[in-house]
Homo-oligomer: A and B are copies of this chain.
Amino acid sequence: DAPVALITGPCQLESLDHARMMAEKIAEACAPTGTRFVFKASYDKANRSSLGTARGLGMEAGLEILGRIREEFGVPVLTDVHEPGHCAPAAEICDVLQIPAFLCRQTDLLLAAGETGAAINVKKGQFLAPWDMANVAAKIASTGNDRILLCERGTSFGYNALVSDFRGLPIMERTGHPIVFDATHSVQQPGGQGATSGGQREFAPVLARAAVAVGVSALFIETHQDPDTAPSDGPNMIPVDRMAGLIAELRAFDDLRKGRG
């Protein structure tokens, strides 16, 4: 088994300079352990809790920035897609297209994403059981694209709360697809701050340790140089200056889990 990889970056693209700065800090944090990462950022937050919050740079500007990061840093890049028509342009730049959790049952979006041939990271809906993801993966695979990642990001647990069910990781693994654990969205408190979602940043490393001990192919961890001023998902992002320490810790558990070193 390959060492655990990272999907990481700021929740939302802010500017080319910001993306460069983040990519550089992430690359530095990953270097000591030789951890591979996919740079993640969204150009459009299409499903925010309320209207009065930042949505992002838009597709064209966002894809251009992602393309520059890809080229300058030599890393694969990921963004999320929200409509079938956005998949082809996004896939011209991005190595991985991500299906948001709320949209993981939208057949047209899954098919359009699959048809690009890009790798597809599907987040499990908060309203789905882990075994329901086999049907989701099958929709994508019907396009002939089997580069599918299945990502756990928390399950509805009462109101304004999520819970991470770690039995879900081996259950989704039965599909044969690599499993990703999203440590920062799993500690979201959806809608928990009225017009935005709250979060419990302090538990992201706790759940990430649990996930690598259970066994995953990749971790999804959003990060920011100053989460409290980030335009979205601040309450659950990891400060980028703590990433090096976190990665080193998680790699040690992953090495043990996968019988290395």
Contact = CB atoms under 8 A, between A and B. Distances in A.
A91 to B, nearest CB: 18
A162 to B, nearest CB: 9
Nearest to A190: B127
Interface in A148-174: 155-161, 163-167, 169-170
Contact of A156 (B49, B102, B156, B191): B156
A242 to B, nearest CB: 17
B158 A161 contact: yes
Contact of A163 (B138, B165, B170): B165
Contact of A125 (B102, B108, B161, B209): B102
A213 interface: yes
Nearest to A130: B159
A252 interface: yes
A88 interface: no
A61 interface: no
Given A83-B84, A206-B214, A207-B167, A191 B107 contact: no
Interface in A27-52: 46-51
A170 B187 CA distance: 14
A44 B160 CA distance: 31
A24 B106 CA distance: 32
A256 B129 CA distance: 32
A252 B260 CA distance: 13
Given A126-B156, A135-B195, A139-B50, A209 B214 contact: yes
Nearest to A213: B213
Contact of A135 (B49, B161, B170, B212): B49
